[in-house]
Amino acid sequence: MSRNYSRAAADSTRKRRRRNSLLLSAAAVVTIIVLLATEQVALLYLLATLGVSALLLVVAFADLKSAEQLTVPAPADDAAAIADRSAARVAPAAAASYGAAAPRRPKRRQRR
């Protein structure tokens, strides 16, 4: 019972956030149209500058390190060893196999 309730609560929260973001976007569009119609370009420039500054601050203070720790760590990459031509130091188990171990048949010659 609680599983269904939490799913319903998550759906309602998602719908509420979507509705709020659509209303905020509509309000921004109406504000821009009104400023353009009344030829308040200086105020529009000011709002655009403040908006870009706010976006840059959000990106600057975003906690990306904790979000990175929540993801599964990527497997070790041997690209640096290959670039340094030190593939001999790489363990054979680390080499990726993309196909079957059987040798390929030679290509047939085309008839003329």
Per residue, the 3-state secondary structure of 47-111, as one string, reads: HHHHHHHHHHHHHHCCCHHHHHHHCCCCCCCCHHHHHCCCHHHCCHHHCCCCCCCCCCCCCCCCC
Q: What's the pLDDT score for residue 44? A: 92
Please give the model's pTM, rounded to 2 decimal places: 0.46
For residues 27 and 88, which has the higher predicted lDDT (pLDDT)? Answer: 27
- Confidence bin at 30 (pLDDT 50/70/90): very high
Is 81:89 a contact under the CB 8 Å cutoff?
Answer: yes
pLDDT, one tens digit per residue, over 60-107 is 998 777 765 655 555 566 676 666 665 555 455 555 556 666 677 777
Q: How confident is the model at residue 106, as a pLDDT? A: 77
Q: How far apart are CA 71 and CA 57, in angstroms?
A: 24
Residue 35's closest CA among 23, 44, 45, 46? 44
Mean pLDDT of the chain: 78
